[in-house]
Amino acid sequence: MDNFGIFIDNLTFQHALVLANFIMVGVTIVLVVVTWLYTRQTKRMADIMNKDFELRITPQYDIEFEHDRPDQNTQYVGGYVNIRNTGLNTVYVKNKRLFVEEIKKGLVKDTKISEKLGLAILKPEDEYDYRVHADAKLIAITPPVKDDIFFGIVCNIIFTCEVAGPSQDFKVERLTIEP
């Protein structure tokens, strides 16, 4: 204690200013480090919140196709496309289109068969069934083969639609149905 008192007594005004400046520089450095750590943690938290938000507004759904099994008398190839909302938010489905992709000697030709431009709104757990069929006469491009389930039809049925979640940022989904 005596040494500290002697040190204080011997300080001049200029020495006190230099000491105060060093203390201020030290406190400023500490504040800069604390601010940098705070902004880093805040950015990390904001990134996590952004990812969480993206996950919550991303539509969660399943698209499945169930074939009709044609026989010799069937004039079409088709079935049902089932779109099921498996998430917790509303799913919007629009611009449902059906194409037949003919495969002939390595060439692919798309033929539009049907189109529904309306908007389907699926609440959680809701399903939307869309009947799809293609006239077999339009797509029969090879001679019938006895063992071929589609009796000589060499094609894929393509179902496309636009799907979005609560943000209504639509993206195109494509379901290829192979015979």
Residues 35 and 53 in one domain: yes
| Domains in the chain, number | 2
Mean pLDDT of 85-98: 86
Residues 143 and 107 in one domain: yes
Give residue 140's pLDDT. Answer: 45
Last residue in a domain, options 57, 74, 103: 57
Q: How far apart are CA 86 and CA 126, in angstroms?
A: 8
Residues 83 and 42 in one domain: no
Last residue in a domain, options 57, 73, 95: 57
Q: Which residue has the higher pLDDT, 123 or 132?
A: 123
Give residue 76's pLDDT. Answer: 60
**Domain containing residue 43:** 2-57
